[in-house]
Amino acid sequence: MAAALALLQINAQRTGSVSPIATVTSSIFGFAQTAASATIGGARSLATTVVSLPGVESENGRLRARNRRLIEENARLHELAAAYAAETDVRPVVNLYHGVEARVIGFPPENESRAVTIDKGTRSGVRRDDGVIAADGVVGRVVAVTPFSSTVLLATDYTSRIPAVVQRGRWWGIARGNLGSVIVEYIPQDAPLRVGDVVVTGEGRSFRSGVPIGTVTAIERGDATLYQTAVLKTSVDLGALDRVVVVSK
């Protein structure tokens, strides 16, 4: 038996093939080796973990702190970028109209009127009835001034009235605040208004002509009326005001 097995091995060696004995043995041991290697590997990892746990913990703490710092820095940079963008947005308007740049700092307590408080007052040259604009167009007009702050009545307030011109045909009207939007009243019935027409300010008490107020989104024509009314989407997002420019006439 031993001789036979030995002969099988010798034959396999000479022919360069794998003997059946080697095949069976390797197969059986293969599984065992796999299991043993996995166990040993796990044990080594565990040992390594146990040994390096304090180091890992402190490294984890360092990384967390660094992550927190980076998040804070990221937020700060985002804020700076937003502030820079807001400032550069209104810079051309300041230069164009020689206006006073201001920031929105407050709102009417009860929101009963559409108005904002800005951080510039008489000390900065702001006067009552000055026009207030943003990078994209009309914001409103100054209705109350104190030395260090002013109240601006937004174009959407129900009591706001601004002389308006439909840019395409020079048709005049009065832009009145309608709380959420602005409507232009008293446009002649024969004016062929179209949705998308741009409405700008006419020469008036607070504004020079040509400052965008908004774009026509709807037109109301009555059969028995002398005038038609246009509903505008304001050029400026009046719900997200940050920096504005006060312009004197």
Partner 1 sequence: MSSFRSKPHVAPFVGPAWYVAAAWLAAALLAQSTVVHYIAIRGVVPSLVLVAVIWYAIRVDARRAVLYGLTAGLCEDALSAHSGAAWTIATSLSAVLASALSRGFFADSIPLVIVITVVTTLVRALLYWVVAALGGYPPGLGLMHLHEAVLASALNAVGMVVVMLLGRRVERVR
Please give the residues from 110 up to 139 whose contact with partner 1 meets the rule CB under 8 A. Answer: 110-113, 115, 117
Does the protein bind partner 1 through residue 157 (CB under 8 A)?
A: yes
Return the range that interacts with partner 1 (CB under 8 A); candidates 14-22, 77-85, 93-101, 105-113.
105-113
Does the protein bind partner 1 through residue 148 (CB under 8 A)?
A: no
CB 127 within 8 A of CB 246: no
Alpha-carbon separation of residue 125 from 150, 172, 208 (angstroms): 11, 31, 18
Structure token pair of residue 5: 């097995």
Q: Which is nearer to partner 1, 163 or 212 (CB)?
A: 163
CB 167 within 8 A of CB 123: no
Q: Least CB distance from residue 207 to partner 1, whole Å?
A: 18
Does the protein bind partner 1 through residue 158 (CB under 8 A)?
A: yes
Please give the residues from 173 up to 202 whose contact with partner 1 meets the rule CB under 8 A. Answer: 179-180
Q: Which is nearer to partner 1, 117 or 206 (CB)?
A: 117
Please give the residues from 52 up to 91 whose contact with partner 1 meets the rule CB under 8 A. Answer: none
Q: Least CB distance from residue 131 to partner 1, whole Å?
A: 16
Question: If you write DSSP's letter for every residue of 173-225 in order, what string do you get?
Answer: EEEEEETTEEEEEEEETT----TT-EEEEPS-SS--TT-EEEEEEEEEE-TT-
CA–CA distance, 36 with 23 (Å, rounded to integer): 19
Interface with partner 1 (CB under 8 A) = 105-113, 115, 117, 143-144, 151, 153, 157-159, 179-180
